[in-house]
Amino acid sequence: MPQDDLRRFFGELLFEQGEISSESMAVLGKLIRLTIDYRDKLKSETGEILTVQETKKATIAYVAALRDGVIPEGLDEKIRNLVRLWLKEINKKFY
């Protein structure tokens, strides 16, 4: 997934939310950086591609995990690993 597609996706999230705090902007910046790093590592190590659709699913699962305290069941391993990375690096939560 090209970096521009990721940035466009996260930009759409920002637009949907309207005005957000500087703290939320910092979290969004971390989400973007971590996602790009994860995408590049996944591609180099396994040859797999992380799609925008998978990133959207991961975002939904991330919000659910923050709300419910558990990562939703039935996620593809690639998506689950991205959610775990976000939780670990942004929220210091380990699943």
The single-letter code of the amino acid at 52 is V
Total count of domains within the chain: 1
Of all residues in the chain, what percent carry a pLDDT higher than 70? 83
Global confidence as pTM: 0.80
Q: What residues make up the domain containing 78?
A: 3-91
Mutual angle of helices 3-17 and 22-46, in 10-degree steps: 150
Task: Tell me what the pLDDT averaged over the chain comes to.
Answer: 86
Q: What is the pLDDT of residues 50-93, one digit of tens each?
A: 998 999 999 999 999 999 999 999 999 999 999 999 999 999 87
